Structure formats: C-alpha cells, structure tokens
Amino acid sequence: MSLLSIKGLQVGFGGVRVLHGIDIDVAAGALVAIVGANGAGKTTLLRALSRLLPLQAGSITYDGRDLGGVAPHHVTRMGLVHVPQGRQIIPTLSVEDNLLIGAGSLPGLSRAEIDARLAGEFERFPVLRDRRKIPGGSLSGGEQQMLAVSRALMMRPRVLMLDEPSLGLAPQIITGIFSALRALAASGVTVLLVEQVAFAALKIADHGYVLQNGRIVMSGPPADLLQDPALISRYLG
C-alpha cells in the first residue's frame, strides 16, 4: 500500500489548468523522482500536495487519509514536509535559529529532543555546525540548500518533498545533497524529489515519473527510464 497516493489530480490557477489528471504512488521509505522541464507543473504539484493550492479534481491520500480538506499547517504536522524552490531560509537569522524554527513548527518538543535533532543535523551536514552562529544569508548557495533540508528534517517528516534542490548549485554540491537524500530514504524517510536535472535525480531514485505539460508521460524503474530513447533525447541529450 502506498504511503502517498495521488489519483486523477487536476490543479490550476488564474483560470489556467496546470495539472491534468496526475496519478502517482509513493511507497513508504522510497525515493521517488519526478523529472521534467521548466513549466512542466512540478512546483504546482508540490504546492497542491502541501495544500497550498486547491484541487479542481482528483484526490491526495496520505497514510490512508484524504488530504482534500486539510489545512497546510496540519499537513506539515502530519509529517508531509515541503522544501520549496529557492530555499526560503530567513537570511538575517543564524543557522541555528533557522533550524530551531523548523523544530518550533511542532508543539510540545522538549529541549532535550530539540538538542538531539540539532546534533543530528550537524552530523548530517557538518558545515552547518561550523557556521551555526552566522546569518543564514551569509552561507553559499549549497550551504543554504543544506540548511533548508535540515530545517525541514527538524520537523521529523515521514515524507520529505523537495522542489528543485539542485537549482543554481555546482555539480559536486548537487552530488553531496543527493547522497544525503539517498541516505535519508535508506533510513526510512520517504523522499519525493522533483527535479529538472533528470539524470542525477533518477540515478538515486527507486522509481521515476516524467512530467510534461502537466501530464505524466513516462514512469517506471529508473534503470528502464534511463535507457529510454525518448527520455534521453528530451532530457538527457
């Protein structure tokens, strides 16, 4: 049974339909990559899953519960956490305070648990420990992306959704962040990764979907997709 199931999803805004009957299943503990060019509908999909956009048709089911009428902050507290495109850290706050904001989204955490989560994120990305007292806006682009991921992980997600985490980063930084995402999935965190960098995303995924003009046009095991001539010519050529 899928932890996250999307059936017949249709979403639009401003009178324009963006997603046209999307069907996606995400198994617990899997890393699922959704790849596509700019304008394919990837960001709209994640905003719909986070309940930031209304559904025009179809359904989103998470852990057996219909999310159609659930408010965005409740979706987060249920364990479905979104790392948006552009990172959206608070640049004037320190690295540590940005992480504490993540923990603060879950009421009732003890100081000991918060400290344990901080220690875990500093172990995951040691550069954040080294820079914990400096403003987030002083970090490099790659470090800011690490901070955005760690802030989301402070919320202890069951499903971590990431929108173009490679955007604007050097290849070696992308490799490091994608390796961390693969390790997260191996630890049991479900990862839903939407990316324009198709090859790198599919290389770490358990299952892949190709989104084009708001429709899923290919899906399957990444090894099969990476040998498909249509995918190669369209996204990897």
What pLDDT sits at residue 3?
96
Rounded CA separation 154/195 (Å): 23
- Six token digits for residue 55: 């559904």
What pLDDT sits at residue 235?
64
**What are the phi and psi torsion angles at 225 (to 5°)?**
-65, -40
Rounded CA separation 146/181 (Å): 11
The CATH number for 4-79+157-236, chosen from 3.20.20.70, 3.40.50.300, 3.40.50.150, 3.40.309.10, is 3.40.50.300
Which stretches of the chain are DSSP H helices?
42-49, 72-77, 95-104, 111-124, 126-130, 141-153, 171-186, 198-204, 222-225, 229-231
What pLDDT sits at residue 237?
47
Residue spans in the chain of domains classed CATH 3.40.50.300: 4-79+157-236
pTM for the whole thing?
Answer: 0.93
What pLDDT sits at residue 81?
95
Closest C-alpha among 62, 152, 58, 64 to residue 104? 152
Q: pLDDT per position in the chain (237 positions), as tens? A: 689 999 999 999 888 899 999 999 999 999 999 998 888 999 999 999 999 999 999 999 999 999 988 999 999 999 999 999 887 899 999 999 999 998 887 777 888 999 999 999 999 999 999 999 999 999 999 999 999 999 999 999 999 999 999 988 999 999 999 999 999 999 999 999 999 888 899 999 999 999 999 999 999 999 999 888 877 777 654
DSSP 31: E
In Å, how far are 39, 136, 158, 205, 224 from 212, measured between CA atoms?
8, 34, 27, 19, 18
Q: Which residues of 151-165 are buried (b: 16+ CB within 10 A; e: fewer)?
A: bbbbbbbbbbbbbbb
